[in-house]
Structure 1
């Protein structure tokens, strides 16, 4: 039986590493072409002959240079491509332009060197529905479905989807877009992750002998908030790409256990041996925030800055990697915990095509915390 060949763009990020692990589980995938600026971070990839690493800075390099390197790695036999490359920019216009440019380079390179390509998968997210904005810039029909109208314009996901569609139609590829919500996972040296920030906060509160205060408000605490574990996302993405009968299009992907922080938070507290405050919400604004507003009773952005010295002392005492604290997504945690609306998308479309897998979100948190201990990001 002939082998399958995949190209993974952004192979050293949380999602790229998860996909590399998933593909390595089957001997049918070879070669697996991992495209990233940094060398492979997974121990299992460094000496694996099935991994072909392409080291390139996609911002500074041209599409032709990218194509040349992919070709040298065996890209001529690639059948499936998975795109996770992403850059954060504060300026909205620059954010759109640079992420569209990165995708365009990947699409152009693959179109030049991979004549056997069957599918190209782009990972976007729930921001497609405006969940990061709320108010009149958010889709209000729950649960969010893939065919929901685009309610605002300045979203780089829209530009990427349209670009992928144009290439795919022209090249006769299947185009696949998957939309996860908050992704649970970790990669060495990449700590910009919701779960990592929660772990650092919990570990610090434990070391300081404090209670595990929920940063946000009571409305969000009791709302459904979909999580999307990196491993589950990638298994779904592999499933989509290998099933030729599944048509091109966009698909939501989440753990599908519909968790609430009111269910997760006490269990995270138990993991770290922390107590919850009583009552959980003490000020009136935390109990009854304005609809469509963002309010945190304990903004972690401010908290992290205030307690930085304390964390450095804990890190030095336990031999921890201080970079994790410096690069944690404190602002993102505030944006999530401080919301006053659910993050809930429909999985009906995925189920229609045979995907009915459910994942226990709290167990994914536990796995993440265990891994962070091994990586010396938090104390054991």
Structure 2
């Protein structure tokens, strides 16, 4: 598909990639386009699993319901995600398979889900009984802006890795992702070129929450 007529820093990155690889004969490139990434990345600027885990931990600590911070469209519609290990697998495949040279590929898990179903899973992972969607809307950036001291208590009481709230939670990112409808893509091109990797998104979601707990980022 042609590029959208709008600023996009990924376009700039691609242009640099194309320009640099063209300078050396035989050097090829590949572009990989994930959806929202499910992975372990506690200090990144786009950390869905970590941010949701921190939010759930705060709700559990304060004894309040785990409210969904987004639109009804985001709650009800189908979405897809990209497991971090699956993305790595596609990178390795593209680096060694000649049929993948100089191509761009979507990279998502290959299934779809609704956040209203994964929200139940998130609540279960943190032992929260009350959870759900609220019509009035909710901004995590606003709700969590004064929760630094609460997070300090959670870290101390549970002997977690010493962190500050703004180091491990990206409220703006979750607000952005949940501000509209769900997003879907197609893995047909990757499959046609020989990449058949996939993940169960629910299992992926749970496994990365478990890893976040194992590294004592959240209780």
The normalised TM-score by structure 1 is 0.54
In 1, Cα distance between equivalents of 2:50 and 2:21: 36
In 2, Cα distance between equivalents of 1:330 and 1:322: 19
Does residue 217 (structure 1) correspond to residue 71 (structure 2)? The answer is yes
2:31 paired residue among 156, 168, 177: 177
Of structures 1 and 2, the larger Rg is shown by: 1
1:229 corresponds in structure 2 to 83
Greater relative contact order (CA < 8 Å, ≥ 6 in sequence)? 2
**Which SS does the other structure have where 2:63 is aligned?**
coil
2:165 paired residue among 319, 325, 333: 325
In 2, Cα distance between equivalents of 1:311 and 1:180: 31
The normalised TM-score by structure 2 is 0.90
1:315 corresponds in structure 2 to 155
**Which SS does the other structure have where 2:70 is aligned?**
coil
Gap change, CA 1:195 and 1:238, over 3 Å in 2: same
In 1, Cα distance between equivalents of 2:163 and 2:131: 29
Gap change, CA 1:331 and 1:322, over 3 Å in 2: farther
1:65 corresponds in structure 2 to none
In 2, Cα distance between equivalents of 1:342 and 1:275: 25
Map 1:189-200 onto structure 2 (within 5 A).
Answer: 190-192=43-45, 193-200=47-54
The CA deviation at 1:277 is 4.1
Cα RMSD between the aligned structures?
Answer: 1.8
Aligned residues: 216
**Which SS does the other structure have where 2:104 is aligned?**
strand
Gap change, CA 1:185 and 1:362, over 3 Å in 2: same
1:324·1:377 contact (CA, 8 Å) conserved in 2?
A: no
**Which SS does the other structure have where 2:30 is aligned?**
strand
In 2, Cα distance between equivalents of 1:254 and 1:241: 18
In structure 1, the gaps of 5 or more residues are: 1-147, 284-296
In 2, Cα distance between equivalents of 1:330 and 1:246: 36
The CA deviation at 1:233 is 0.2
2:19 corresponds in structure 1 to 166
1:367 corresponds in structure 2 to 207
The CA deviation at 1:245 is 2.6
Map 1:48-67 onto structure 2 (within 5 A).
Answer: none
Residue deviations 1:32-88, cap 9 Å, x none? xxxxxxxxxxxxxxxxxxxxxxxxxxxxxxxxxxxxxxxxxxxxxxxxxxxxxxxxx
Gap change, CA 1:205 and 1:264, over 3 Å in 2: same
Does residue 242 (structure 1) correspond to residue 96 (structure 2)? The answer is yes
2:40 corresponds in structure 1 to 186
In 1, Cα distance between equivalents of 2:99 and 2:146: 54
In 1, Cα distance between equivalents of 2:121 and 2:8: 35
Residue deviations 1:152-180, cap 9 Å, x none? 34212112212212222331312101011
Map 1:248-327 onto structure 2 (within 5 A).
Answer: 248-277=102-131, 280-283=133-136, 297-323=137-163, 325-327=165-167
In structure 2, the gaps of 5 or more residues are: none
1:206 paired residue among 60, 77, 82: 60
